[in-house]
Structure 1
Amino acid sequence: MRKKFLLAATIITSLTIPSVIAKEEIKNSWLALSKSELKQVQSYNEEYKSFIDQARTELTFVSETKKLVEQSGFNELTENSQIVPGAKLYSINRDRAMTLMVIGSKPVKEGVRIAGAHIDSPRIELKGRPLYEKNGFALFQTYTHGGMKNYQWVNIPLALIGRVDKKDGTHVDINIGLNENDPILIIPDLAPHVDRDYRKRTNRDVIKKEELDIIIASKPGNDSTVKQEVINFLKTNYDISIADLVSAELALVPAVKPRDVGLDRSMVAAYGHDDKISSFAAVKSILEVKKPEYTAITFLVDNEEVGNLNNTGADSSYLVDTISQLLYQQSPSTYNDYLLRKTLRKTKVISVDVNPGVNPNWPGVWELGNAPKLGEGINIKLYGGGFNANSEYIAWTRNYLDNADILWQTSTYKGKASGGTIGSALSENNMDVIDFGVPVLGMHSPYAVASKVDIYAMYTAMKAFFVNK
């Protein structure tokens, strides 16, 4: 039987496979679950929800992951680390990108196995000089990170999280709105009673980017303005000045918790499925790798939503630098750049990122024969136009997925669609790269939906990849 994955919803735990259905005809993962698998899916999804509730930005994802992997015996990679089979190591790049490594029995020069995912998500950010006062309110000016439908971000509870770096070299962590006792922040929309002059706006322009400024406060002091009261609050509570916000990375993210969806609890709604589904799976799967044949690497990277930019994005040399360090420390006498390039040539990568799934209300945007459906497994992305992995690498991928009884489907956009992954950046270093995903409804919205069985399937697929020869 193709054992596929999933969820332990109390209503469906009694599901069994009808005897009239041939095993090879099973497409929906729920129909192939044993009771023990249901429990595994449920347990994994509960852990996933708990983790992403805290890890909402790249900064918090890295800090939460560091705590998790250190509890599992990983040590920081240093110039004195022993690159020996079974060694568990991690490296952090500027608090915003990270690699986890389990050294294989084969030398690193024989190539490595990399599961790469991004840890940033679409959000609203503060401008460098954000604070101003208008019509009795104190507001922060904002801009957007990643593609989004702006109208989805008004009238929802938002939290302000991130860090402020001061001139003396210290930094202050900010986290307001996630705790249930915290205040939230909000961007108010116009009421339908007074929006007549704006009703002709369409789609992305319903709310324009410059209309996403967020209300911070509305109460003046006896002898001070609302704006001055905000300045006083920041100084009193965080010992930061308004000028310090120039050197800050502060994000506005939905202040809503991940929740089960459906009477059968078969799905999860959450902020940040893109790409926390993949990045959490990449972390969890490598924690279970003991002593692989080929060195296993989880690569967690920032800034995919804005084009893989900066020294913490996939375009950075950080990943190649890390592999270079492993090569050198494993055999310093034989290291040279040619050896590094040969190692990259032998390396296999899965670039893992979610993608839109078939929406029951708008199925026409897909050509359904090549459309990814919730509950039917991971997606092998076939873009066409020169973006696909080569056919031999796709065949190699199909083989280990089938051998591990992992349900998969293909995903190809209808016509021309937008979007990208970290895969193209990694393939520029001559590594074999294939794009994986799982289908998500409402991608890039503040509260997207994914199937628990697919969330779990991504994790099992990564485990199979790391140990495949």
Structure 2
Amino acid sequence: MRRNHRTGLAGILLSSLLLAPAAASAAPPCEKRPCPSNWLSLSSSDRDAAFAFAEDYKRFMAAARTELTTVRESLDRARKAGFREWTPDAKLTPGSRWYKNNRDRALILFVVGSAPMADGFRIAASHIDSPRLDLKARPLYEKQGFALFQTNTHGNLLNYQWGNIPLALIGRISRKDGTSIDLSVGLKPEDPVFMIAGLSPHVDIDLRNRTNRDVLAAEELDPIVGSMPKSANEGVFAQVADYLRETYAVSVDDLVSAELSLVPASAPRDIGFDRAMMTMYGQDDRLGAYASLRAMLALERPKATSVLFLADNEETGNNNNTGAASDTLVNLLGELLYAELGDRYRPPHLSRAFERTRVLSTDVNDAVNPTWPGAWEEGNAPHVGEGVNIKVYGQGNNATTEYAAWLRRILDDAGVPWQTATYKVGRASGGTLGGTLSRRDMDVIDIGAPVLSIHNSHDLSSKVDLWSLYNANRAFFAAP
């Protein structure tokens, strides 16, 4: 059953192709398809707030292109909001605000609550990595008079989406002497960009029988990074190597200890005459991360100690020491309990706190596509503009009924619109941080926002769904 819990509007005026405010009136919950858009239920002031919220989101996303830059941008906002770096000797007082930076690739923020931590935590978790191209350890090579970079894939890409679009190079290069340089090329209008050159329809006969996933094979995703030879005796490889040494003081060998990613270079943009939607790279799942971050920054003195967990490497299985499967979060929560209990602390205190912990694992969901609606089973498919997705995967992956009912009540009491999301049986798949955190004996439920074109080079979201997800996170943190 699909539900939509916003109070409805009696009508809406369309003037000069822009949505205009209309008078609010009561509307019954939406029990079956089609459901009205949540734009219809927003007051004029709420709609203005949703648009303003989206503008800040676009500014955030313009800067937050990788884990490194997302942590940097999030930390900057957190510090301005009064969050301080956590140390084990810090004094925990209700309302105090802290952060733990995990190697610049993952981040934990928390606000101390008034209730004992042994009573459990309230955790919002999202991942901040997105499908992309990474450079291999020795990426630079020369072929047919071009300098190119060898790449590897991070996450599940639609390879053909990455050809013939401007790409930016972002990341960090670490030298043997212990120094590092953060590099960003392609985001500023005056920067050069990089591009994977495809074949034209005049000469692509050898590619025409390839399936869409193989129109560009993974080993063919190599962008052009130079084309001017250094001299008659030295080619373009030498020219690029000289450029790296003279511009960044790094050698080709230094690229072995580099973390460099190629991401779409275009800036976030609005979609449509009404500007109700947005397109940009990386909304899976920095959209969820941003909504949770803003909710955390607005939090003052919750009852339960509230935690924001922004993790790396969800797209590759939550792995490595910056992913959700690491012990970083568990170790920090243990430190917090020890800081609260002192020498009375014992390991069972942590395991019992986990039993009483509630988690929102936030990640976006594939929304129904107007061109290919048959990819979804209509009754349980998430639609753009209809609110937060409660994910009901089945096959042993659902939250308990008690926790799902608790969340429904929290969202309904806060007036947050929601809908359910279930894939067609055997036709689709997806992962979040939820399974990893639930193995720690926490109560976890997956939620998200409906997004079109997930895992494409650019995905599309609705401003009203982003606004709903933010309000869902605020209601979650504030709930008793």
Shorter-chain TM-score range: over 0.9
Amino acid at match of 2:188: N
Partner of 1:360: 370
**Maintained 8 Å contact 2:423/2:429:** no
In the alignment, does 2:454 pair up with 1:448?
no
Deviation, 1:228, is 0.3
SS in 2 for 1:394: helix
Partner of 1:467: 478
Amino acid at match of 2:396: G
CA deviation map 1:85-128 (0-9, x unaligned): 01100001111111100000001111010000000000000000
Partner of 1:165: 174
Deviation, 1:28, is 1.6
Partner of 1:94: 103
**Maintained 8 Å contact 1:84/1:330:** no
Deviation, 1:4, is 8.5
- Aligned with 2:305 (options 281, 286, 295): 295
In the alignment, does 2:413 pair up with 1:403?
yes
Partner of 2:352: 342
**TM-score between the two structures when normalised by the length of structure 1:** 0.97
**Maintained 8 Å contact 1:3/1:406:** no
Deviation, 1:14, is 1.8
Partner of 1:31: 40
Deviation, 1:2, is 2.4
- Aligned pairs for 1:49-68 (under 5 A) are 49-68=58-77
Deviation, 1:24, is 3.2
Deviation, 1:175, is 0.3
Partner of 1:127: 136
Partner of 1:147: 156
**Maintained 8 Å contact 2:380/2:420:** yes
Separation in 2, partners of 1:243, 1:319: 34
**Maintained 8 Å contact 2:38/2:417:** yes
- Aligned with 1:189 (options 173, 185, 198): 198
- Aligned pairs for 1:221-232 (under 5 A) are 221-222=230-231, 224-232=234-242
Separation in 2, partners of 1:121, 1:250: 14
Separation in 2, partners of 1:65, 1:367: 37
CA deviation map 1:233-277 (0-9, x unaligned): 000000001001111100000000000001111100010110011
Amino acid at match of 1:182: D
Deviation, 1:192, is 0.5
**Maintained 8 Å contact 2:8/2:24:** no
Separation in 2, partners of 1:89, 1:429: 23
Unaligned runs of 5+ in 1: none
- Aligned with 2:185 (options 154, 176, 181): 176
When the two chains are superposed, the root-mean-square deviation of aligned CA atoms in Å is 1.6
- Aligned pairs for 1:356-395 (under 5 A) are 356-395=366-405
Deviation, 1:278, is 0.4
Partner of 1:261: 271
Q: What's the % identity of the aligned pairs?
A: 49
The count of residues paired between Structure 1 and Structure 2 equals 466
- Aligned with 2:20 (options 14, 20, 27): 14
SS in 2 for 1:376: coil
Deviation, 1:15, is 3.7
Amino acid at match of 1:24: P
Separation in 2, partners of 1:307, 1:297: 22
CA deviation map 1:19-54 (0-9, x unaligned): 6x7343464211101111011001100000001100
SS in 2 for 1:332: helix
CA deviation map 1:365-391 (0-9, x unaligned): 100000000000010000000000011
- Aligned with 1:112 (options 121, 134, 143): 121
Separation in 2, partners of 1:64, 1:22: 40
| C-alpha distance 17-24 of structure 1, shift in aligned 2 (>3 A) | farther
SS in 2 for 1:207: coil
SS in 2 for 1:89: strand
In the alignment, does 2:47 pair up with 1:43?
no
- Aligned pairs for 1:266-281 (under 5 A) are 266-281=276-291
Partner of 2:257: 247
Separation in 1, partners of 2:415, 2:275: 24
Deviates more, 1:222-231 or 1:52-61: 222-231
Separation in 1, partners of 2:143, 2:473: 51
In the alignment, does 2:1 pair up with 1:2?
no
CA deviation map 1:337-381 (0-9, x unaligned): 110110111100000000100000000010000000000001000
CA deviation map 1:142-201 (0-9, x unaligned): 010000110000000000000011111111111000011000000011000001111000
Deviation, 1:222, is 2.7
**Maintained 8 Å contact 1:157/1:186:** yes
**Maintained 8 Å contact 2:67/2:106:** yes
SS in 2 for 1:30: helix
In the alignment, does 2:442 pair up with 1:431?
yes
In the alignment, does 2:312 pair up with 1:308?
no
Partner of 1:138: 147
Partner of 1:237: 247
SS in 2 for 1:379: strand
Separation in 2, partners of 1:93, 1:3: 42
Amino acid at match of 2:383: K
Separation in 2, partners of 1:23, 1:378: 18
**Maintained 8 Å contact 2:24/2:43:** no
**Maintained 8 Å contact 1:157/1:254:** yes
CA deviation map 1:272-294 (0-9, x unaligned): 11001100111100111110000
**Maintained 8 Å contact 1:4/1:30:** no
Separation in 2, partners of 1:150, 1:66: 32
SS in 1 for 2:343: coil
Unaligned runs of 5+ in 2: 10-14
Separation in 2, partners of 1:349, 1:238: 43
| C-alpha distance 10-440 of structure 1, shift in aligned 2 (>3 A) | farther
**TM-score between the two structures when normalised by the length of structure 2:** 0.95
